[in-house]
Structure 1
Amino acid sequence: METKRASLQSRLEGSVAPAATAKPKVSSAEWRQRGNTYLKEGNLQQAANCYRRGLESDPKDATCYSNLGYVQSELGHAIVAQEMLSQAVKLNPVDYDAHYMLGNLARTRGEWLQATACYREALRINPGFDTCRRDLCISLAQMGRIQEATAVLEQGPAFAPDTADFHYFRGNLRLAVDECDEAIVHFRQAAQLQPQDSSILINLGVAQLRRREVFSAIQTYRNVLEFEPDNVQAHANLGAAFQQSGQLELAVQSYRRALQINPEYLNAHQNLLFSLTYLSDLSPADYLSEARRYGARVTARAKPYSQWLCPPFEEGARPLRVGMVSGDFRTHPVGLFLEGILANLDPAKLTIVAYSASATEDVLSDRLKGLVSEWNSVAVLPDDELARKIHADRIDILVDLAGHTGLNRLPVFAWKAAPHQVAWLGYWGSTGVSEIDHILVDPVSVPASDAQYYSEQLWYLPDTRLCMSLPTSGAADEVKDLPALRKGYITFGSYQILNKINDRTLALWSKVLAQLPTSRLRLQSLPLAYGEAVANMKERLTAVGIDIARVDLHGGAPREAYLASYDEVDMILDTYPFPGGTTTAEALWMGVPTVTLTGHSLLARQGESLLRCVGLADWVASSEEEYVEIAAQHASDLKSLGEVRAGLRQRAINSPLFDSAKFARNLEDAFVGMAREHAER
């Protein structure tokens, strides 16, 4: 989430040529000088026109290419900027500014290896280029090479202690290893020295978001926009802060503004799509149109393969090589769902090749590594290089497990590195990427009539599209008796992230609590460990008529303690239109049923799909009134509710939702069926 702090004056001083003598034909140097004048005035379009005219006069004017590349980058035309700057360094290999700007473009795309190579070349040519040294330091830190980044920083004499740059870089190094408290201290010290430096404030906001200080981050980004109203990174990051705080309409506005400024900003576009899925009043057709716009952008950047190295499909002749791409092969809902499935796949049918897009690994990562045939860490590989690797790995079917969530590599799928590509598990809507052939769904979550709302073809799994691995925590060993029997009142619960708890959901919960005056509500979510999030939630609860004296607010907890906390909850009140997934499955395991409100999308029907899997169709509401009625009815019959609790774990174990072996067979059949279908075309 960092931005460059390029010096416009430096760019101009390196570009302006002496005035040419009068000639009948305007020289490229004169066009350059005119362009530089427009650039100083902030007239980027006219500057670009002058540089183009300069290239018409002299197609080998490297400085014109370099300056035009800079302007195109500022205009948000990344692809054109890349072409211009590449030509500049080809004609003039010692143009350190051009190398630096190529590094910035690579960094914007998340291509950290390429970015560091460009920055190193710029520093080799000009060792005193401190702006470049700083950005090389940041890029190395992003790749986890903290010691190397520190060494690079200390080699720069301009970064003396007690300067803004010193604190800025120290803050970035601490941020890279998630030491957010110390990072915030450094960024604040840097901001005191340079209060209108947008890069400092933007990274301060990043650290605040990681610390769950969402409302502080919102104010930080608003401060940036007061003096840089068109700062695209500030708008995009402000959208992320609004999203985390549950202010989804404002998040959508911020992402759209970022895309207005830079239509090629893919991260903002993906975050927009992610946020749109939370809105109950968005039509499926409108969502698909936006997703297709994203898909068209990534396709325009790619060079799709049309021939592949994997042998022709012959059923039963060999195992299919299935590549799975995700940044969530770790303790994350994707990893938790995936573990049991991978453990039960037949190696005679499928060879699983994992492409991990995260630099972070944990104990679950280690277990997953033992369940796949090949493990590839690809977090720092550019899209084109990753596509080439997947193609060279002879993958038959490539599976995206992320969609428009964090650490995804969806642009790689536009390269069509495998003959058949599939979306599954980690997302809840269409990707919009036309090169993805199928999306795995189940009959409850996506009826056939909804096929028109997907860029992918629907491929149905017979029972469920999700299968939860059995929890391994010691706290999950036993289901306790119904808490209401010892407390004397019903405790409703929710473990959702705050952006799922919208005002409509709170109003719905208010109606439930009004029906049962002695009941209580337990909310547990990571941000509720922080005072500002607690204060905001109390304000929102009060606004919908919920007495905060009836509500217990809890922050996040380690997994064992989190599972144990279900011993305090009688039933879960689901959110709408974004219901629980992992939390619903874990609650069922702990004997706690969920009241859910079904809707009109894959996402909004997720709760219904999960509950029907375990035989709890009577806990699914089709209207808000029915939701309140179901909650009140079950809460009024403690004997029946206790019986449900006592038998729910076994019911879950016997259901398709936890039957990893059965799900693995269904998944094998799906992939073989896809390969057969593709071969018959």
Structure 2
Amino acid sequence: MMDLETADALHLAGNIDAAADAYRRLIAADQGNVAAWHGLGAARLRAGAFGEASDALRRAVRLRPEEVGAWGLLAEALFRLGDVERAIYAYRRAATADSMRKKAEENVAIIIPGSASAGKADVFSARYAWGRHLAAGVSPVERPPRPPSGGKLRIGYVSAFFDKPNWMKPVYGVINRHDRDRFEVHLVSLGGDPSASAGYREHDHDVIWQVGSCDDEKIARLLAAAGIDVLVDLNAYSAPKWLRIFLHRPAPVQLGWFNSYATSGLDCFDGIIGDDVVIPAVEEGFYTERVLRVRGTYLAFEVFHAAPDVAPPPCSSHQGRLTFGALASAYKLNDLTLDIWARILRSAPTSRLLVRASTLAEPSNRDHLHARLAARGVASERVDLEGGAAHFDFLRSYDRIDIALDTFPYNGGTTTTEALWQGVPVLTYVGDRWVARTSASLLRAAGLDDWVASHEDDLVAKASALVPDPATPASLAALRAGMRARLAASAACDTAGLCLALEQIYRQFRS
């Protein structure tokens, strides 16, 4: 009989499948073995089997509610499955242990904008509280005299994702257009580096910083010594550890743009850049930063990577059967999103749903999502769940989707731009916070206001009305055929205008 010590040794050695089998044998012999349930959950989490992991870890915490380590792992598994509300609860149970409090509070601060039950005040409170922990013991670095720059303003962009062409469509759309006679551009790379394949157009006078192996204080001192005038964070909570660079205050002006979606909760940013759709004036009190707005959309984008040609809508050859779809990250598939999708599918019984995300390659994750939809009255036969693929092939999925459904409250950003570029309209509604309005920002900038509902019921009604309408296939075909030309002529792809607006903001701070 294999014992727990042997199973744990297999796990620690990285022999994950063998460890999981060992934990299962222990559980078969004793259903009350908390450590074995905990171990099985940890092993399956490590393998990306979040559905199976969450089941095992739930058993562990039911048997022993004080098992804070299991609560922490359960929170991660739940989040990866899109069960955001329960993930936050689990993180907060884990935070009752001093050893886990800081990490658990950080994770709550990261994911809370995507919680439908958390309001704007809750988001602000969670991020402000975690920001106080992050800032503890961090002191500003000394800024020596600024080296000469020939009258140019030095702009530093900080990102851990410069090598991601699908993410960087707005970023490189701006950076490639900066006026190098007036601005000296520094790209502070904390991960993969800028490249032509990612969309960056090399300029002789740009400075590429490859500093991902350095700690935050060293990076801050280097930036201060270089005399950066305006330092722009492109990471926000997608790479939260690097927020400490900004807490060291290496530049006289520090701004957040592109990947913010809510306040940072920190006092070290002088401004956060959005637009009128995502941050109405009445909500400025929920930001520690000064709110700055550009005209149009703050996410204006340009496609640099290869993309498939736009295909006709599939309903053109399947009269009366409309396929809704979402190529969103699975962590956005929370209860509110599934509730809305299920309402649409129940009201349009001839329609289908295609969902594709990298985590859905794993069987237990698919089973978990099928079960959640079935509990809402949507049979698995109507839903196709698929895993990820190489990016070009992933985009070909839109050939099989008539209309994309947004996620709520955590809208698409990259997902929305890619759906539109493939000719597929996105149905969304104007939510109650920044992250719930990014799609509305893009769609309105593209002149696609008809696809932006005013509220949840309006969205369901719009979707339901499209399915039986005999004019829908021809309407979608015409929309798809002209979509890229429409986008190119609209504010949604006016990266030149966005660049000028950002340059004006940067100079305004230094005037």
Question: TM-score, length-normalised on structure 1?
Answer: 0.66
Mapping of residues 134-145 of structure 1, within 5 Å: none
Residue 477 of structure 2: aligned partner: 642
Residue 389 (structure 1) aligned to one of 200, 222, 237 = 222
**Residues in 2 aligned to 1:521 and 1:664: alpha-carbon distance in whole angstroms:** 38
Residue 216 of structure 1: aligned partner: 52
Question: Are 1:340 and 1:468, in contact at CA under 8 Å, matched by a contact in 2?
Answer: yes
Q: Residue 187 of structure 2 aligns to a residue in which SS?
A: strand
Query: Which amino acid in 1 is paired with 2:430?
Result: T
Does 2:451 align with 1:619?
yes
Residue 501 (structure 1) aligned to one of 315, 333, 336 = 333
**Residues in 1 aligned to 2:22 and 2:352: alpha-carbon distance in whole angstroms:** 46
Deviation at 1:377, TM superposition (A): 3.0
Deviations 1:14-41 (Å, cap 9, x if unpaired)? Answer: xxxxxxxxxxxxxxxxxxxxxxxxxxxx
Question: Are 2:165 and 2:197, in contact at CA under 8 Å, matched by a contact in 1?
Answer: no
Mapping of residues 468-547 of structure 1, within 5 Å: 468-475=301-308, 478-488=309-319, 489-547=321-379
**Residues in 2 aligned to 1:320 and 1:170: alpha-carbon distance in whole angstroms:** 52
Which structure has more helix as a fraction of its residues? 1
Deviations 1:33-78 (Å, cap 9, x if unpaired)? Answer: xxxxxxxxxxxxxxxxxxxxxxxxxxxxxxxxxxxxxxxxxxxxxx
Does 2:253 align with 1:417?
no
Does 2:80 align with 1:249?
no
Does 2:498 align with 1:666?
no
Query: Does 372-381 or 452-461 show the bigger shift?
Result: 372-381
Question: Is the alpha carbon distance of 1:232 and 1:405 closer, same or farther for their aligned partners in structure 2, counting shifts above 3 Å?
Answer: farther
Residue 159 (structure 2) aligned to one of 318, 321, 326 = 326
Question: Is the alpha carbon distance of 1:400 and 1:364 closer, same or farther for their aligned partners in structure 2, counting shifts above 3 Å?
Answer: same
Q: Residue 436 of structure 1 aligns to a residue in which SS?
A: coil
**Residues in 1 aligned to 2:314 and 2:510: alpha-carbon distance in whole angstroms:** 50
User: What root-mean-square deviation, in Å, do the aligned CA atoms of Structure 1 and Structure 2 show?
Assistant: 3.3
Question: Are 2:10 and 2:16, in contact at CA under 8 Å, matched by a contact in 1?
Answer: no
**Residues in 2 aligned to 1:458 and 1:282: alpha-carbon distance in whole angstroms:** 21
Q: Residue 209 of structure 2 aligns to a residue in which SS?
A: strand
**Residues in 2 aligned to 1:188 and 1:503: alpha-carbon distance in whole angstroms:** 29
Query: Does 419-428 or 628-637 show the bigger shift?
Result: 628-637
Mapping of residues 164-313 of structure 1, within 5 Å: 170-171=13-14, 183-185=15-17, 208-209=44-45, 211-218=47-54, 234-262=70-98, 266-305=102-141, 307-310=143-146
Question: Is the alpha carbon distance of 1:505 and 1:191 closer, same or farther for their aligned partners in structure 2, counting shifts above 3 Å?
Answer: closer
**Residues in 2 aligned to 1:189 and 1:547: alpha-carbon distance in whole angstroms:** 32
**Residues in 1 aligned to 2:41 and 2:217: alpha-carbon distance in whole angstroms:** 31
Q: Residue 236 of structure 2 aligns to a residue in which SS?
A: coil
Deviation at 1:386, TM superposition (A): 2.3
Residue 11 of structure 1: aligned partner: none
Residue 210 of structure 2: aligned partner: 377
Q: Residue 282 of structure 1 aligns to a residue in which SS?
A: coil
Question: Are 1:528 and 1:553, in contact at CA under 8 Å, matched by a contact in 2?
Answer: yes
Query: Which amino acid in 1 is paired with 2:416?
Result: T
Deviations 1:67-103 (Å, cap 9, x if unpaired)? Answer: xxxxxxxxxxxxxxxxxxxxxxxxxxxxxxxxxxxxx
**Residues in 2 aligned to 1:479 and 1:578: alpha-carbon distance in whole angstroms:** 26
Query: Which amino acid in 2 is paired with 1:648?
Result: M
Residue 452 of structure 1: aligned partner: 285
Which structure has more strand as a fraction of its residues? 2
Mapping of residues 325-404 of structure 1, within 5 Å: 325-331=158-164, 334-358=167-191, 368=200, 370=202, 373-404=206-237
**Residues in 2 aligned to 1:422 and 1:335: alpha-carbon distance in whole angstroms:** 18
Query: Which amino acid in 2 is paired with 1:674?
Result: F
**Residues in 1 aligned to 2:296 and 2:410: alpha-carbon distance in whole angstroms:** 21
Q: Which runs of 5+ in 2 are unaligned?
A: 28-32
Query: Which amino acid in 2 is paired with 1:522?
Result: L
Deviations 1:576-608 (Å, cap 9, x if unpaired)? Answer: 111111111111111110110211211111111
Query: Which amino acid in 2 is paired with 1:321?
Result: R
Does 2:441 align with 1:590?
no
Question: Are 2:198 and 2:305, in contact at CA under 8 Å, matched by a contact in 1?
Answer: no
Deviations 1:596-645 (Å, cap 9, x if unpaired)? Answer: 02112111111111110100111111122210222233442322222222
Question: Are 1:444 and 1:605, in contact at CA under 8 Å, matched by a contact in 2?
Answer: yes
**Residues in 2 aligned to 1:671 and 1:333: alpha-carbon distance in whole angstroms:** 26
Question: Is the alpha carbon distance of 1:166 and 1:251 closer, same or farther for their aligned partners in structure 2, counting shifts above 3 Å?
Answer: closer
Deviation at 1:389, TM superposition (A): 2.1
Deviation at 1:221, TM superposition (A): 5.1
**Residues in 2 aligned to 1:554 and 1:259: alpha-carbon distance in whole angstroms:** 35
Residue 599 of structure 1: aligned partner: 431
Query: Which amino acid in 1 is paired with 2:332?
Result: K
Question: Is the alpha carbon distance of 1:521 and 1:222 closer, same or farther for their aligned partners in structure 2, counting shifts above 3 Å?
Answer: closer
Question: Are 1:308 and 1:419, in contact at CA under 8 Å, matched by a contact in 2?
Answer: no
**Residues in 2 aligned to 1:296 and 1:386: alpha-carbon distance in whole angstroms:** 21
Q: Percent identity?
A: 31
Deviations 1:348-371 (Å, cap 9, x if unpaired)? Answer: 23222222223x569777654846
The count of residues paired between Structure 1 and Structure 2 equals: 497
Question: Is the alpha carbon distance of 1:367 and 1:629 closer, same or farther for their aligned partners in structure 2, counting shifts above 3 Å?
Answer: closer
Q: Residue 431 of structure 1 aligns to a residue in which SS?
A: coil
Deviation at 1:493, TM superposition (A): 0.8
Query: Which amino acid in 2 is paired with 1:479?
Result: V
Higher relative contact order (CA 8 A, sep 6+): 2
